Amino acid sequence: MDTDRLIELLRAADAVRFGEFELSHGGTSSYYVDKYVFETDPACLEAIAEAFAERIDDETLAGVALGAVPLVAVTSTVAGRPYVIVRKSAKEYGTGNRIEGSFEAGEEVVVLEDIATTGQSAIDAVEALREAGATVERVLVVVDREEGARENLAEHSVELESLVTASELLADADESVDGD
């Protein structure tokens, strides 16, 4: 998938907004990438899944609940690869699992994420998967906000691969906004 094409789809779906926004980690930003828009827009979701599938080898996929579940489910179908879901914490009821789905000890798993800012949710997922016996060396993300996620993941021996960076997404943004 061409980066420019994905950016066009994200903008066309109105998944990129400008203004003053509070982010989940407590900071503020002059732009917001709405994952719920791109995860519920069929053209965006399909393009993202195809782009992720191009980067996947024989790995099992992992999605962080709840945000990356649509991404990992559709990518699993496109790539023909199994997936697991990593919860932020173990359930207090039922099976009490932190990881839903199965993989073999030592199996290579790649984590799929929607947006990376600090990378903390991806780090938490990687640690949970490693504790369960998986080998995790990569996180694939739709948008890297370029606010430390790559460096933070590297400290845990994990490579961050993004489909789009904030720099790419915001390049010529003024022209896009003015042209609307």
pLDDT (tens digit, 9 = 90+) per residue, 92-127? 777 778 999 999 999 999 999 999 999 999 999 999
Q: Is residue 107 part of a domain?
A: yes
Q: Is residue 133 part of a domain?
A: yes
Q: 147-159 burial string, b = 16+ CB within 10 Å, else e?
A: bebbebbeeeebe
Q: Is residue 161 part of a domain?
A: yes
- Indicate whether this model's pTM tops 0.85: yes
**Between helices 3-12 and 42-54, what is the axis angle to 10°?**
160
Total structural domains in the chain? 1
Mean pLDDT value across residues 142-161: 97
Answer yes or no: are the C-beta atoms of 163 and 141 closer than 8 Å: yes
pLDDT (tens digit, 9 = 90+) per residue, 7-28? 999 999 999 999 899 887 778 8
**Neighbour tally for 82: CB within 10 Å:** 14
Answer yes or no: are the C-beta atoms of 7 and 33 closer than 8 Å: no
pLDDT (tens digit, 9 = 90+) per residue, 136-148? 999 999 999 999 9
Dump strand ranges (E) for 68-178.
Answer: 83-86, 99-100, 108-116, 135-144, 159-165
The band of 178, judged by pLDDT with boundaries at 50, 70 and 90, is: very low
DSSP state letters, 137-156? EEEEEEEE--SSHHHHHHTT
Q: Is residue 96 part of a domain?
A: yes
> Where in the sequence is the domain holding 65, given as residue range(s)?
3-175
Q: Which amino acid makes up residue 10? A: L
Q: Is residue 180 part of a domain?
A: no
Q: Is residue 112 part of a domain?
A: yes
Q: What is the CATH number of the domain that holds 166?
A: 3.40.50.2020
Phi, psi of 120 (to 5 degrees): -65, -40
